[in-house]
Amino acid sequence: MHATPPRSGRRPAGVLLALIGTLAAVLGGCGNDGETDGQALFDANCAVCHGPAGEGAAGAPPLTDPAYLPDQLSDAEVADAIRGGVSDVRDGYGAMPAFSNLDEEQIAALVEVVRELQGS
Ligand code: HEC
């Protein structure tokens, strides 16, 4: 009459695995199913220097600066800046590091975020 404990021990584990599976499916669906989340990439990689709304900060110029609007700096040039960094083009600021860890899809998503911040 001591036969039940092993069985009752198994069942919660199965339920737990099912829950983990569901959770993984939900999280996976959020992150990877649709488009790359450019805003999250911006928050993680760019906001530290350019500010959360691209308004600029001590170490970096505002991305809303007229010099960076589409008629001055093309999408390809913005992508180049992210991909390869920028070394000391403008007075008063240091260099911007290259983001060689980002893939082309992520860079394209970031270019879009920059344009949104510029309202253009
Ligand atoms: C370590 C600080 C830092 C981080 C992080 C950073 N930037 Fe910059 N960024 C700069 C500085 C400084 C400049 C100005 C460089 C210059 O012109 O001398 C700049 C310039 C730029 C320019 C203008 C490029 C050009 O050709 O003149 C763009 C666009 C830009 N950043 C976008 C981004 C984006 C998007 C990210 C996130 C992937 C990012 N930056 C992350 C510091 C940073």
Q: What is the pLDDT of residue 62?
A: 96
Residue with CA closest to ligand 1 atom 43: 96
Question: Residue 31: what pLDDT?
Answer: 45
Give 100's contacts (C-beta < 8 A, 6+ positions apart). Answer: 83
86 and 41 co-located in one domain: yes
The pLDDT assigned to 92 comes to: 79
The answer to whether the CB of 68 falls within 8 A of the CB of 54 is no
Q: How far apart are the CA of 47 and the centre of ligand 1, in A?
A: 10
For the CA of 107, the closest atom of ligand 1 is: 38
How many Å lie between the centroid of ligand 1 and the Cα of residue 34? Answer: 27
> Does the CB atom of residue 52 touch ligand 1 within 6 A?
no
HEC profile of 72-89: CCCHHHHHHHHHHCECCC
Together in a domain, 29 and 60: no
Burial of 65 (0-12, 13-18, 19+ CB in 10 A): middle
* 60 and 96 both lie in a single domain: yes
Residue nearest to atom 2 of ligand 1 (CA): 49
pLDDT mean by block of 10 residues, the chain; 120 residues? 57 58 50 74 96 91 95 97 89 90 97 94
Give residue 12's domain range: 1-34
Tally of domains within the chain? 2
Atom of ligand 1 nearest to the CA of 91: 18
CATH number at residue 61: 1.10.760.10
Q: Are residues 24 and 75 in the same domain?
A: no
Same domain, 45 and 79: yes
Cβ contact 49:96 at 8 Å: yes
CB 96 less than 6 A from any atom of ligand 1 = yes
